[in-house]
Amino acid sequence: MTYKVNTVIEKDEHGYYAFCPELKGCHTQGDTLEEVMDNIREAIGLYLETLSKEEKKLYLSQEIFTTALEVEVA
């Protein structure tokens, strides 16, 4: 079965960090964007394997909204 999972990827001086807001504790890192994307797919798959059908439905039905805000700094 295929799922769509929200994923946040951040870049810093050490590489990339990724996590899934719906799946608490599901996170990973990588040196490149490609590596972190491969790693988070694997982490999500392993995480979902530990959940019951009911838990998957509950966790993956959360509504998460993201936006980019302009902020004025004095």
**Both structure tokens of 25:** 């504790």
- In the chain, how many domains are there? 1
Does any domain span residue 29? Answer: yes
Q: Kindly report the CATH number assigned to the domain that includes residue 26.
A: 3.30.160.250
Give the residue numbers spanning the domain of 43.
8-59
In the prediction, which pLDDT does 10 show? 96
Q: What is the pLDDT along the chain (74 residues), one digit of tens a residue?
A: 788 899 999 999 999 999 999 999 999 999 999 999 999 999 999 999 999 999 998 988 888 888 889 999 98
Residue 68 lies in a domain: no
The residue with tokens 């982490």 is 43
Any idea which residue has 């810093």 for tokens? 12
In a domain? residue 69: no
Spatial separation of the C-alpha atoms in residues 59 and 48, rounded to whole Å = 10
Residue 73, domain member (yes or no): no
Kindly state whether residue 16 falls inside one of the protein's structural domains.
Answer: yes
| pLDDT for residue 66 | 83
Residue in this structure with the two tokens 């694997």, named with its chain if needed:
42
**Where does residue 18 rank: exposed (0-12), middle (13-18), buried (19+ CB within 10 A)?**
buried
Concatenated DSSP letters of 5-21: ---EEEEETTEEEEE-T
pTM of the model: 0.83
Any domain includes 28: yes
pLDDT value for 63: 82
